[in-house]
Amino acid sequence: MNETDPALDRHGRTSHETYTAGFYADDRDFVVRALLGKATRGGADIGEVLATIAECAPHDHEGWYAAWVALGDRIAAVAEACAKGGHPVSAARTYLRAANYYAVAVNAVSGLGDVDRLLPTFRLHRAAWDGYLATTRWPVEPLDIPYEDTTLPGWIFTPDRSGARRPTLVMNLGSDEAITGIFGEGAEGGLERGYNVVVFEGPGQQSMLFERGVPFRYDWEKVLTPVVDRLLARPDVDAERLAVYGVSQAGYWVPRALAFEHRFAAAIADGGVVDMTRSWRQNIPHALLAAYDRGDKERFDKEMELAFRLPGTGKGQRLWNFRSRPYGVTGYSEALDEVAKYDLTDVAGRIATPLYVIDAQGDQFFGGQGAELAALVPGATLARFTQAEGASYHCQPLARELTEQRMFDWLDEQLGLGG
């Protein structure tokens, strides 16, 4: 703190400007916001998060990774002690926090040179998730979803053990989000409102990528249709009240699936995405993109490789590798070719499912695309979230209670529930 004015930090900012100024100047700012936003659902403890980042210097990638592993280890040990001591409520809530902290460490591997730490770190996260499943108050069972020649891992949570036929919400992860993350973005809110809630990992997500090497696919109807088939075979799922929620990159995947899979009664895109390539292209120099756009991919690849050899570009190279890996590609032009398939422009008009599209002010990844998607989908509901409400940035991470209230009120009305 500034010694002459305790209201100023070492950067000269007033202490109340953190919401707009940020915790960090890089992508770690979003990580911190997303974690803090999970606190209202027990997915983080605010003091634990703030105390951890207080010791993490900017650009110290090893320290960032180590800090979250250490916090995950400490909280997981507390959870295990609670479970052994016969305190399941404490154990469940503590396991959930530990799993989310480990999930930060999993993604932090992208900033390191040693990718061999990815799988062991992911398995720490998964062990904490298993601990949560074993102690949570919500009835839950594994849900293996037939998919091509294998299965997708999933779980179905229910409000109680009655086996009653209920409205059911499928929750679709984003690109690199952990299964525990989405639990604080509507799963528990759905259970409290009487919904069954389904969470799963699709191609390129978490265990499907890290343990099986199965990449993303743009034609996500090939993923959600098997999910629907599996659920409609269950007596506790109301086929007329089946809904789906997609967060972040699933703001593309879910609408893409809806253009071909019409059995959902309602859907939510948090936030909406039309064209995935824009978030990739925005950080590539125009001169390099010009070579790619005119079809000179050999030159593009060569110049990208040379650019990443320049001093100070190591993190950028590692980030590119991390982002392209789930797509099942390695080359630079190959990555852009694959991502170019993720475009809803020509299919969004086919969507007949009532769709709630969130468009958050200041979305740093897909800014403005929510409104664009809503304009392409007949009858879509556009929901704007603003900085004045504390609901800006990608997926409004610090306004999850507001998000939950608005989207579930809309969803209840679409399905004829409540009121």
What residue spans define the domains of the chain?
15-130, 138-276+342-415, 278-339
Contacts of 33 (CB under 8 A, 6+ apart): 23, 393, 397, 398
**Bridge partners of residue 172, in order along the sequence:** 200, 246
Q: What is the pLDDT of residue 135?
A: 98
263 with 297: CB under 8 angstroms? no
**Bridge partners of residue 15, in order along the sequence:** none
Q: How far apart are CA 284 and CA 281, in angstroms?
A: 5
**Identical topology for domains 15-130 and 138-276+342-415:** no
Q: How far apart are CA 84 and CA 91, in angstroms?
A: 9
**Mean pLDDT over residues 184-211, rounded?**
97
Express as a percent the part of the chain with pLDDT over 90: 85
Neighbours of 299 (CB within 10 A): 15
DSSP secondary structure string, 97-158? HHHHHHHHHHHHGGGSS-GGGHHHHHHHHHHHHHHHHHH-SS-EEE--EEETTEEE-EEEE-
CA distances from 40 to 34, 164, 243, 280 (A): 12, 28, 24, 32
**Mean pLDDT over residues 298-315, rounded?**
85
79 with 151: CB under 8 angstroms? no
Contacts of 342 (CB under 8 A, 6+ apart): 218, 252, 256, 273, 275, 276, 277
Q: How far apart are CA 184 and CA 178, in angstroms?
A: 11
Q: Which residues of 199-218 are buried (b: 16+ CB within 10 A; e: fewer)?
A: bbbbbbbbbbbbeeebbbbb
Whether residue 11 has pLDDT greater than 90: no
Q: What is the pLDDT of residue 9?
A: 55
**Bridge partners of residue 171, in order along the sequence:** 199, 245
> CATH fold of 15-130, please?
de novo design (two linked rop proteins) (1.20.1440)
pLDDT digits (tens, 9 = 90+) for 46-78: 999 999 999 999 889 999 999 999 999 999 999
Q: What is the pLDDT of residue 322?
A: 82
Distance of CA 58 to the CA centre of its chain: 23
Q: Using CA of residue 182, residue 225, residue 414, residue 143, what is the dihedral sign?
A: negative
Q: What is the pLDDT of residue 321?
A: 83
pLDDT digits (tens, 9 = 90+) for 149-174: 999 999 999 999 999 999 999 999 99
Amino acid at 32: V
Express as a percent the part of the chain with pLDDT over 70: 95
Q: What is the pLDDT of residue 4?
A: 46
Structure token digits, residue 33: 């916001």
Structure token digits, residue 357: 């599209």
Checking DSSP bridges between strand 166-172 and strand 196-200, what pairing results, if any?
parallel
Neighbours of 349 (CB within 10 A): 12
Domain boundaries 138-276+342-415, corresponding CATH code: 3.40.50.1820
Amino acid at 155: W
